[in-house]
Amino acid sequence: MAPVISTLLQSSLQPSSLPTYRRAWKLFSNFLHVILPGISATLPISPPVLALFIANMYDRHYAPSTVNTYVSALGYCHKLSGLSDPTKVFFIVQMLKGYGKLGSRLDSRLPITLPILHRLLDSAVQFCHTPYDTCLFRAMCSLAFFACMRVREITLATTNGRGSLIHLHQLTQLVDAKQGVIALKFTFLDFKHNYNQRPFSVVINRRNHFCPVQIILDYLSLRGRMPGPLFLFSGWPCIFCLYACMPCL
């Protein structure tokens, strides 16, 4: 019955949570190895050691949201083992509150507005090397904007990464009586915080200027009907870093 117990426990977490919890434990183990080599990375973690770990992350300029996630992961390990949770000790809670106040930073990134999107689409021909790359980039930008998609829903972090990429079969073309495409419907099957949630759809309609429907259709005419991720670069899923560094503006 042990395998069944393990399977049920792992299924209680979102698939994206498991790698995060592993990163938290690995970071804590590295912290002990470098800063406190005399202490082994085993449970339970004492509140003073946890406090030093939080202080170390503050010195290394970790974002408050990341620290809260990693601390919660360590607390989860204790609760799963039936141990007292050091993350709920009063002075640890207060440290995290202080971290949130001192470590918060204003987001310097501009929101993407329609004029900025149009500049992105116009500039694609300046840095994309082929007509396919240009159509691909324009389609990705248009879909991300009009469907309010997260970057990880259209790209992977690394070549070996796993994510909730939207696939070709999740796209439906909506047509009128003359079989002309008037809109595109994207059905999301796996998305952030979708635990036990039904799939939902987003419909993108045609526009007069920089029409997202036509831009995506132009890309599809070059992509072909091969099953798999909607956005392909040289036959492979798109990698985030390929587009994050492009001099768009």
- Per-residue pLDDT tens for 10-60? 666 666 677 888 899 999 999 999 999 988 889 999 999 999 999 999 999
pLDDT of residue 249: 39
Q: What is the pLDDT of residues 210-240, one digit of tens each?
A: 999 999 999 999 999 888 888 888 767 676 5
Q: Based on the domain organization, do 121 and 72 belong to the same domain?
A: no
- What is the average pLDDT score of the chain? 84
* Within a domain: 107: no
Q: Give the CATH number of the domain where residue 227 resides.
A: 3.90.15
Which residue, 59, 76, 102, sits at the end of a domain?
Answer: 102
Q: How many domains does the chain have?
A: 2
DSSP reduced 3-state for 56:
helix
**Domain-embedded: residue 6:** no
Query: 26 and 84 in one domain?
Result: yes
46 is a domain residue: yes
Beta strands per DSSP E along 169-240 = 171-175, 181-188, 200-205, 232-233, 236-237
Across residues 82-98, what is the average pLDDT?
94
Is residue 244 within 8 Å of 161, Cβ to Cβ?
no
Which residue from 248, 247, 239, 28 is spatially nearest to 154, judged by alpha carbons? Answer: 239
